[in-house]
Chain A
Amino acid sequence: MSTSTVGHAVDERTYAAYSRPLWWRVVMTREFAMIVLLGVVYLWATGNVASFDGPLALYYLFLDIAPILMIALPMTLIIITGEIDLSVASTMGLSSVLVGIFHADLGLSIPAAAVCALAIGTACGALNGVLVGYVGLPSLAVTIGSLALFRGIAGGLLGTEAITDYPEQWTDLAKERLFGPVEGGYSGGWLGPVTEPASYPLVLVPIVVLAVVFGVLLHATSFGRGIYEIGLNEQAAKFSGVDVARTKLLLFAIAGAVSAFAGVYYTLRFGSARGDNAEFLELQVIAAVLLGGVSIFGGRGALPGVLAGVLLIGIVSSALRLEDVSSNVINIVIGVLLVLSVISTSLLAWISGLRVARTKSDHPTKGNQR
């Protein structure tokens, strides 16, 4: 994984790139392209899709993509190290089932049940982390195993039953609007124009907090630099003092914790704990992260692009659903978007390589045909 990345990474850091002004380097990135694309698609949808500009559209959109937004944050960090975590949705399903069982069968309050589920989710993630970081197994194999393992435990605990009895105050909280619905209109204040009722669900608050924490962690700490170093060249990272095993353990444990939190939210939002909750959500998370410009080979990517990627997938599927497009076609569109975005990066790297070879510029010729 990391060997094929090196050539590209060096390319990424040539001085030519840094000879441009800062604003130019910010604007000419994959992340910025995603954000612009997101804006364009949003404006297009607002103008062309009936009822996309309605007060409910953004509210439901954020409710729907909230779990993906949450889990995409740690997933980005994991993929930047060159690893992957396929077990997140299973951890989510397990946490959902655990909240139900702790609450209904053991009589714990919802917060207590949620804390227990979070602890177990963290342990699930830590198990992945130990196997990947300290034992040194490939994360693809480990997390395919734990995907089946955690899902199996979730299914085994509840069978085909569902636990659907939760206090209303908690299920309402999961769907609460920021500042609550206000009779006869709502002043959006700094959040935007006056809409009624408020378009932003409360769940955005923990998401924004998490996004800021992960953003700072990845982009402004030495731990975050270590994450990129591991993805670029694990050996070099080790020699330059990055504790690779500990970093991976931490990242997987955090992913487990965030997935468990998403599971609690999911349970309360749908008022239903089932063993098959959130099945296949891991694929949507990984798709969004890759669409957001994170390299599957590790070492490259940034959080703003990922957030834009998640929002883009959310807006596209919401707009298409509003146009009565069937779920199969929506999957096809998202799939094509993803493949195009991945192809475009590789294809252009290749074209650019040809051009460099032809003009014999200062760059050494690179194959870059992946």
Chain B
Amino acid sequence: MKFQSRRVAVLTAVTLLAGMGLTACGGDDDGGSGGGGGSAEITLLPKNLGNPYFDASRTGAEKAAGEFDGEVTEVGPDQAAPDAQVSYINTAAQQGVGALVVSANDPTAICDALNEARDAGVKVVTFDSDTDPECRDVFVNQADAQGIAKAQVDLIAEQIGDKGKVAILSAAANATNQNAWIKLMEEEIAANHPNIELVDTVYGDDDDQKSFDETAALLSRYSDLAGIISPTTVGIAAAARYLSTSEQKGKVALTGLGTPDQMRAYIKDGTVTSFALWNPEDLGYLAAYTAEALINDDITGEEGDTFEAGELGEYTVGADGGVLLGEPFVFDETNIDDFNF
């Protein structure tokens, strides 16, 4: 006992300390980015890591940082849960980085943490998915909801001859973006496409299998369905995968928001004619320039502030601190090979 317990104590301490020491060496290498403060140090916090969409945004943000001589550090949780983002926001507040560029997993859950970071002097830019306006300085909007809704309705109208039954395959039932778009799509259809009937909205929860199953259920429920709109990248890819092997391939139109990598095969095999999205690389690029403008006090987030965003040109801050990237981009057979994300 006497030997054992002392040795346990000593060896435990030594091994654990050795572990700590090793990780410290590893950490110190990139630790330099944490200490500086003041310069254009930007922490990029996507909804989750390992998502090709946010990888493209990071590429854009890093490109922008290279141009204005700033530094972008990407951190984030493995899963898109709001509470997981909070500890990274807290960390950025402690580090005193120049700006935090974040895509919110929940519009309110991370609000307090963001405001604490702002109290600590960190500028907060949201991109892709916004929080409540009082929790951030500027929201870099990928395309205004109106434009996105209209682009998708126009695409489906064109593909089904402007008449017939249409259904929507969305993400989660409480997804901020999707719900805003769906509401506007309903209005757009009611106002300008009297012969299109929106028969159902189903939720695939941004889960591949669930979206796949919901597509199958939609097609069996409405045998005369003319088209499906899926305003989420996971949903449209799963729906396309179902359609491409079903009898309805080519008969039921599918459009929505997708990424070129996921949709390339379905464009080429004729399952999908065209779909829309913005360019996430441009989005990250613009978000980084917005962060830099805030850090340098070129803008404060007031409506009417203007700033230069490198090769994208001049941008003006709109109502509620919003900066609009531009019109959605339509991908089809002619241009899909030009994109890689």
Contact = CB atoms under 8 A, between A and B. Distances in A.
Interface in B7-22: 7-13, 15-17, 19-20
B19 A333 contact: yes
A241 to B, nearest CB: 28
Interface SS, A side: helix
A39 to B, nearest CB: 11
Interface string A292-323: 00000000000000000000000010101111
Contacts of A349: 4, 8
A150 B293 CA distance: 48
Interface in B142-197: 172-174
Nearest to A34: B12
Given A44-B24, A161-B174, A324-B33, A341 B12 contact: yes
B159 to A, nearest CB: 29
B111 interface: yes
B109 A272 contact: yes
Contacts of B30: 323-324
Contact of B27 (A162, A320, A340): A320
A337 B16 contact: yes
A50 interface: yes
B19 A48 contact: no
B27 A40 contact: no
Contact of B96 (A28, A51, A278, A326): A51
> Which of A41, A279, A344 has the most chain B CB within a 10 Å cutoff?
A344
A162 B13 contact: no
Contacts, number: 174
Interface in A239-260: none
B108 interface: yes
Contacts of A352: 3-4, 7
A160 interface: yes
Given A20-B2, A50-B35, A44 B20 contact: yes
A36 B16 CA distance: 12
Given A51-B96, A344-B15, A29 B83 contact: no
Contact of A51 (B7, B17, B94, B108): B94
A32 B8 CA distance: 11
Given A160-B174, A337-B16, A57 B1 contact: no
Given A160-B203, A352-B3, A325 B19 contact: no
A14 B5 CA distance: 13
A56 interface: yes
Contact of B12 (A17, A63, A271, A344): A344
Given A323-B28, A325-B23, A272 B94 contact: no
B31 A50 contact: yes
Contacts of B78: 327-328
Interface residues of A, number: 69
A355 B82 contact: no
B9 A29 contact: yes
A225 interface: no
Contacts of B94: 51-52, 54, 56-57, 60, 322
B50 to A, nearest CB: 10
Nearest to B4: A352
A355 B87 contact: no
B81 A33 contact: no
B174 to A, nearest CB: 5
Interface in B31-64: 31, 33-35, 49
B202 to A, nearest CB: 13
Contacts of B16: 37, 41, 337, 340-341
Given A270-B109, A271-B108, A272-B109, A322 B91 contact: yes
Contacts of B93: 56, 60
Contacts of A16: 1-2
A160 B173 contact: yes
A28 B109 contact: no
Nearest to A59: B90
A341 B76 CA distance: 28
Given A16-B1, A37-B13, A44-B20, 12 more contacts: A17-B1, A30-B5, A37-B17, A60-B87, A60-B94, A270-B83, A270-B86, A323-B34, A324-B33, A340-B12, A340-B15, A344-B12
* 7 nearest CB pairs, A to B: A33-B9, A323-B27, A272-B109, A352-B4, A50-B35, A160-B172, A60-B90
29 contacts: A14-B1, A17-B2, A33-B13, A40-B13, A48-B28, A51-B35, A51-B94, A54-B94, A54-B96, A160-B172, A160-B174, A161-B174, A162-B109, A164-B108, A270-B83, A272-B82, A277-B83, A279-B81, A316-B20, A322-B94, A323-B28, A323-B30, A324-B31, A324-B33, A327-B49, A327-B75, A328-B78, A336-B19, A341-B16
